[in-house]
Amino acid sequence: MRLLNSLSGLITEIAALDQVQDSIRNKKVIVIYYDGNDNGGKGYRTIEPVCLGYSKKGNLVLRAWEQEGKSHSRDTKGNPIPGWRLFRLDKIFTYKPTMDNFVDIKPNYNPNGDRSMTRVLLNAIFGNEENLA
């Protein structure tokens, strides 16, 4: 039974990772429910995922442009929405594509990766850029 539970968890994790990668490659607008650590950090957000990688602490993370939603950092750190956010994948409880796609490069987009990441797995391609994965 333990083996079955372990395999089930692995399959779910792989499917979620595939979904994230697909949304970056195809520039899909996503609605997530994020379980942020701080009070007020939990809630739904509409995002444009652009970069997947590992944080300096070793967590699998997603860099995304947050169009709207409940972001604690907006309230306490002066980071207005819309704006860039870094999301830990293990704290994203729902990941649902909308019918919309994004095509515009947002301000301060870095086609070479993300300074908050030690390793970039996939970065969105706009125009003639090369895929870094």
Asked whether residue 44 is assigned to any structural domain, the reply reads yes
Residue among 132, 100, 99 nearest 117 (CA)? 132
**What are the Cα distances from residue 62, in Å, to 2, 4, 6?**
30, 29, 24
Tell me which residue range forms the domain holding 49. Answer: 2-123
Helix (H) / strand (E) containing 21:
helix 2-25
Sequence-separated (6 or more) residues with CB below 8 Å from residue 128: none
Residue 129 lies in a domain: no
Tens place of pLDDT for every residue, the chain, 133 residues?
A: 554 444 444 444 454 889 999 999 999 999 999 987 765 578 899 999 999 999 999 999 999 999 987 665 555 455 667 889 999 999 999 999 999 999 989 998 888 778 899 999 999 998 754 443 3
Q: Which of 101, 111, 104 is nearest to 132 (CA)?
A: 111
130 in a domain, yes or no? Answer: no
Give the chain's domain count.
1
Identify whether 132 is part of a domain: no
pLDDT of residue 73: 55
* pLDDT of res. 132: 38
- Residue at 93 is within a domain: yes
23 assigned to some structural domain: yes
Domain membership flag for residue 113: yes
Q: What is the DSSP string of 45-78?
A: EEEEEEEEEEETTS-EEEEEEEEEE--HHHHHS-
The alpha carbons of the chain give a radius of gyration, in whole angstroms, of 15
In eight-state DSSP terms, residue 27 is T
What local confidence, expressed as pLDDT, does residue 77 receive? 57
Residue 119 belongs to some domain of the structure: yes
